[in-house]
Structure 1
Amino acid sequence: MQRKAYVPGTAALLVALLAGCTSGSADSGTTDDANPGDAGTATAVAQPGKYRTLPEPCGAVGQGTLDSLLPGIKQIADAQQREAAYAGEATLTYDTDRKVGCRWKVESTDATDHLLVDFERVVSYDNAVSDDNQARTIFGTKETAADLPEPTASATASDSASASDSASDSGTPSATPSSSASASSSDSSSTSASASASASPTGLEPRVLSGLGDEAFLDDALSSSGSTAQQRTVTVVFRTSNVIVTVEYEEQPATVGVVPDSQKMQDRARKLAAQLADSLNG
């Protein structure tokens, strides 16, 4: 009896198996070649900010400037207390490379003055966002929170004018209840007096500032404490590259009914801010 030949069938099976292995090897080789190409693709890294460190805040304000902003400091009789007043007090911080600040408080027979200087160095942890752009975003948030009014022609003119106009505004802020004599009742009189006192003189409204850092704004708020004494707070915030600087200047007169002079306080705060901007640019 003639035997059947199985060899050709077995050979065909082996050929098919080998072809499958060869095809799989080729596919896996293509995948391996693709991965290194993906991993080697260069990712654009945003530029770091100009500033890598921050100044020592309590030493950033000169004695002459402190004499101007804190008039009572020269009235302190005790030499050690006066020296401590000039030195200021550093604000609490956990990273002096990222955020530092200093506070001063001086009481006098006329008023109590507060000054805060704060430096914040912004660092972006997103490779697609530069330090400057991150600082711009944070500054924008601060400006939005300040809720500045729409700019007026008078405010723009005042911002570009020199500080020599203070004499013309000296009598404007000193509003008292008597200025509301036309009100029909004591309640309406009080309301009118409050509105008159809280209104900023023309051209001194909270506003965006030009010529200070890369961008800046000024806020001016008048409030009453429990003793009904008027307290004014002038805040100047500016950004230069990836550093945001805040100057907060407060004054509360010792006499009820006296309103802090907006023009003088704004001029002093803006002058200090300009000095700090110059020192950063070194």
Structure 2
Amino acid sequence: MKEFEFIKLLKEKCKGCGSTPGIGDDAALFDNFLVAKDIVCEGIHFLKATPAEHVVLKVFSANISDIAAMGGTPKYVLLGIAVPKAREGEKKNIIEAIKKSAGLYDVEVIGGDTASASNDLFVSLTVIGKKGRFLLSRSGAGKGERVYLSRPLGLARISLEKELGADFDIDAFKHYKMMAEKELGEVLGNVGTVTSCIDISDGLGRDASHLSEESGVKIVIEEKRLPFSHLKQFDVDKVDYFINSGEEFALLFTAKKEHAVDSYLKDNGFEVHDIGYTQKGSGVFLSNGAKRISISSKGYEHK
């Protein structure tokens, strides 16, 4: 059973017994607090040779990004970590990485648990945040709205491929250093004109499909509007890398055109990209002139 099949079945079985929103959104809500959890496992999310400090930053960013996608402010984290004997010598580096990551995102580590592991490093993080004035979710988009992206995509995938042996002129660990859009998320949660939001963790096509499905709209991404300049130095299919790169932690959100949210954000120091629109229907499509192709399943899925 694949990752999203497992989540779908779990959501069906646990429907009505949790918070709202809960399973299927980026974080759960209770009493004006947002709670999100992420885990990373050696051999699935990172290689055995990957320095542990990069792993720690990655799990912090993934969690903080979930709170940002809900328009909240992250405040506290609970950390669970199991360290194998082969990484005993990295424990001090791990502690420093936890301290540094918490400082970068201005969150407080308030507890957790530690254990020994037989073979592989395992890190789990739970983040608790405060709800913004307006709760953002995946289900609020309507037809006739604009689709916005907080920053260009693709470098996380290129960096990952460099770590796996590809000959790209890029930091092989850059994909562990993709930062969550903490400040932007806080603004989006208080502006009042954003109708839906999700972070890009599984690729543009796949994550946009979550918005499409939960909101009941079709999403059209206009290729001519995608910012590709950062990919020109690499010998890659820029469209493919842009829509399939996962764990970017950018924010994808929707708003009515007349609210000019992009202009408002620009005036407040945030440069976002208007990349498409919503309409009646379902699915996610990439538009290039008169040609449209489905990209609903495009992205990355952990096995």
Which protein is richer in strand relative to its size?
2
TM-score under structure 1 length normalisation: 0.23
Query: Of the two, which has the highest radius of gyration?
Result: 1
